[in-house]
Chains A and B, each alone.
Chain A
């Protein structure tokens, strides 16, 4: 008997058992038991999901701890006068459930990167910095800087308390919808990559030219 044949037989037996009405268990046990099992499963799933949504989880890998997290620690989003701070998922994982699941599925590629050591040295990370940053800029541009706006609301922004130049820029570009946060505020939580060719930023031609 071939192995395929045997597997087919096994599948058939399983399907028959699955398809047959319960012989010994009551309907009440099955419905309530199913409900309880569902609650346990869903609770477990969400707990596991939230576990992966913590900074401690992110910097569990040295790739994240030594590169982006080290960057973050020098910025105002880590240390400031009021002690409010942003953790990795605050900016990098959407808060809405469906978007969050979509992002988590995308993150399976990061598991791939971890296994194959795509950015496992500072040099490799530097080489990829522009590409990685570009992904995040594109994401924030596409969702109108949603993760910024989870904390920073244009409505609650009192521009009279801002510097003159910032107030003017926010009035001209942000309030009119002409630009979104990430258009101007790149590199506010991590070191910037080589900004050649990025709008608003320039590089001197001497430094950009290959030597």
Chain B
């Protein structure tokens, strides 16, 4: 015992190294998962607390700024009352703004599928992995492999898919991750390909196995093909920003800029889309193996 106390730096270093190596080697076992679960369960309340407090401060701040803008509007209205001018135009403007706000509120209905709206509460703390944690979990009916979409202006597009579900939180693997492979097609030519995150171009994705005979115009939309069973057909994913053709390959590659910016996504909708039966069985088999 004295030896360990005298050499605590070396002894603890050896313990830490062994722990990490064993843990990485056994990453798929329940042993590792249970430690991750405990640590994650410890972190989540703090992350939620921070998110909620920041959200409330933002709301209070927004209240102050709204008050200023209301004062300004009051002053303008008085001027307008004095002049009796432009009343009709103002009314039209307010109406259109009201319509815009109503449209934003109704995004949930526009998803087109039964969905669960969720807020992003956390992201990967490092630069190596890019996943998103949302404030909805199995308690809200979310299951692994459910597709996730979000809105950029009026465009509804794929964010990723659910890969981990706990009681009140879930983890989403975004389309820019090289671990997520999606069956996609070009919207105009219907040419199929396999999309995954680009390892050499962070924040972008790439489509492989596109036929060389296909002419790919710039900015053409990429949509899900429905193959694979996770994503319904026709969901918007991104736009082609570049094509790469090499002589050695029988296919061409397209670089895709996702519609939903990973760095800016705050609100998402988990589509309660039941994946294909084959996929469910495959997932269950994988889980049984673990």
Q: Are A and B genuine complex partners?
A: no
